[in-house]
Structure 1
Amino acid sequence: MDTRTQPVEVPGDFGNRVRHRRTELGLSTSEVAERTGMSTRRIEQVETRPVALTAGELARLARALGTTIGELSAPLQHRTTRRARMGPLLEPMRRDECVKLVESGVVGRIAFNSADGLVVIPINYCWVGDLIVFRTAADSAVAQYDLAPIAFQVDTVDEGLRDGWSVLVNGQVRPATEPELEAARERVEPWAGGRRETYMAIEPQRITGRRIRSW
């Protein structure tokens, strides 16, 4: 029996650790996919939801990220104990660094004023040119929110490492144009399901970000 094909139990924060290490190296999910021989969608699943990994996949991920299986899957309390004495450092990020992080993600949050007040909801999205494009239902509140202020936020955090980053995009939302729609069609698949065939585009006016490190 080939043990490389057997499922391996990984900690609940494994996806955060993979994403943390990938962004540290400045790699996109597609670049990690190429290094591991896995699909980009598989890497995105690893980073954003609980998955069952084989020993072979775990080893390839560790090699691709220049680390060890132990570093990716060590128990949380070991890292927390070692680093709890160190004070956090909050650093602003450059715009190009923020854009790269947004571009490499697939899930974020939008905030806007609806008839019922401020609304914050998660979305699946993709970066098209200089825009954030997402899909929604034609009768949703945001689909009626044409050329109005909106905020988009994406982040990641490792509770064990006490590290993380956050990017905030302020801009306006509008219906996507036909070229923008076509560019995003195969790249955005809402996890919520249902008919979500209205494509909306966020035009960034201000992009800021912060990174917190405990070392």
Structure 2
Amino acid sequence: MDTRSQTVGTPSDLGIRIRERRLGLGLSIADIAQRTGLSRERIVHVETRPFALTGRELAQLSAALDISIGDLTGPHEPRTPQRPPLAPVLEPMRKEECVKLIEAGGVGRIAYSGADELMVIPVNYCYLNGLIIFRTASDSVVAQYDLEPIAFELDFTDEGLQVGWSVLVHGMVRPVTSQEIDVARDRVKPWAGGTRESYMAIEPHRFTGRRIRSW
């Protein structure tokens, strides 16, 4: 295959097709980056702006999205204004789908009872051996918890395409063991400044998820 840089079809149409296929499979940008070896920035560029693909990149995206190159680059059905848009459909997700989305890691939200009110804060996390692990300051309220109830939430939305999903995990939070710290140390790095050396683990009891589609 010719690996010279080439523009494939109409860039905006192909970018839309790649994005719709990815979302339809429930894959994140991080998933596609891992499957193809391309950077996340490159995937975002392909999905959102005019671009030129090499033959190798096209083959990598085709394999990652489990679709033939012909189907991926073939004629794109025009969206006729005469046909009314499909009403968004809300679908429940199985536990396996929820876990797959969480496995990518990144930024989620935890919800727990503070001293006087319910607290909801974003956290960097990793998913390790069935545990959701995050780091926090040693003097934070949640750092003092040991087998206390907690909720974890992760979501994605695209306002333009009116699609998205949300995963909610209920479980108990506790300090991690020294062995768990050794494994998780390089996998979860808080973006916020300051010292956050208290590693906490969420033991999931229940996974629920919903996905909204517009096609």
Quick check: TM above 0.5? yes
Secondary structure of the residue aligned to 2:86 is coil
Task: Sort the Cα spacing of 1:202 and 1:23 in 2 relative to 1 into closer, same or farther, 3 A.
Answer: farther
Secondary structure of the residue aligned to 2:204 is strand
Match of 1:201 in 2: 201
Task: Sort the Cα spacing of 1:192 and 1:105 in 2 relative to 1 into closer, same or farther, 3 A.
Answer: same
* Letter matched to residue 164 of structure 1: G
Q: CA deviation at 1:31?
A: 5.5
* Letter matched to residue 148 of structure 1: E
Q: Deviations over 1:111-147 (max 9, x none)?
A: 0010030010001101011110011111112111221
Mapped contact 1:107–1:124 kept (Cα < 8 A): yes
Mapped contact 2:29–2:43 kept (Cα < 8 A): no
Q: CA deviation at 1:84?
A: 6.8
Hey, what's the Cα distance between the residues in 2 that align with 1:158 and 1:28? 12
Hey, what's the Cα distance between the residues in 2 that align with 1:53 and 1:161? 18
Q: How does 1:16-165 map to 2 (within 5 A)?
A: 21-22=21-22, 24-25=24-25, 32-38=32-38, 42-43=39-40, 63=62, 64-65=64-65, 67=72, 85-165=85-165
Could you state the TM-score of these two structures normalised by the residue count of structure 2? Answer: 0.71
Secondary structure of the residue aligned to 1:97 is helix
Q: Which has the higher helix share?
A: 1
Secondary structure of the residue aligned to 1:98 is helix
Q: CA deviation at 1:21?
A: 4.7
Q: Deviations over 1:174-193 (max 9, x none)?
A: 00112221221111111113
Task: Sort the Cα spacing of 1:34 and 1:145 in 2 relative to 1 into closer, same or farther, 3 A.
Answer: closer
Secondary structure of the residue aligned to 1:119 is strand
* Letter matched to residue 148 of structure 2: A
* Letter matched to residue 40 of structure 2: I
Secondary structure of the residue aligned to 1:166 is strand
Q: Which deviates more from structure 2 when the two are superposed, residues 100-109 or residues 82-91?
A: 82-91
Mapped contact 1:90–1:212 kept (Cα < 8 A): yes
Task: Sort the Cα spacing of 1:139 and 1:100 in 2 relative to 1 into closer, same or farther, 3 A.
Answer: same
Percent of aligned positions that are identical: 57
* Letter matched to residue 168 of structure 1: L
* Letter matched to residue 159 of structure 2: E
* Letter matched to residue 43 of structure 1: R
Could you state the TM-score of these two structures normalised by the residue count of structure 1? Answer: 0.71
* Letter matched to residue 198 of structure 1: S
Q: Which runs of 5+ in 2 are unaligned?
A: 6-11
Hey, what's the Cα distance between the residues in 2 that align with 1:157 and 1:82? 27
Secondary structure of the residue aligned to 1:153 is strand
Match of 1:75 in 2: none
Match of 1:7 in 2: none
Q: How does 1:168-183 map to 2 (within 5 A)?
A: 168-183=168-183
Aligned residues between the structures: 195
Hey, what's the Cα distance between the residues in 2 that align with 1:112 and 1:62? 40
Mapped contact 2:171–2:206 kept (Cα < 8 A): yes
User: RMSD over aligned Cα, in angstroms?
Assistant: 4.1
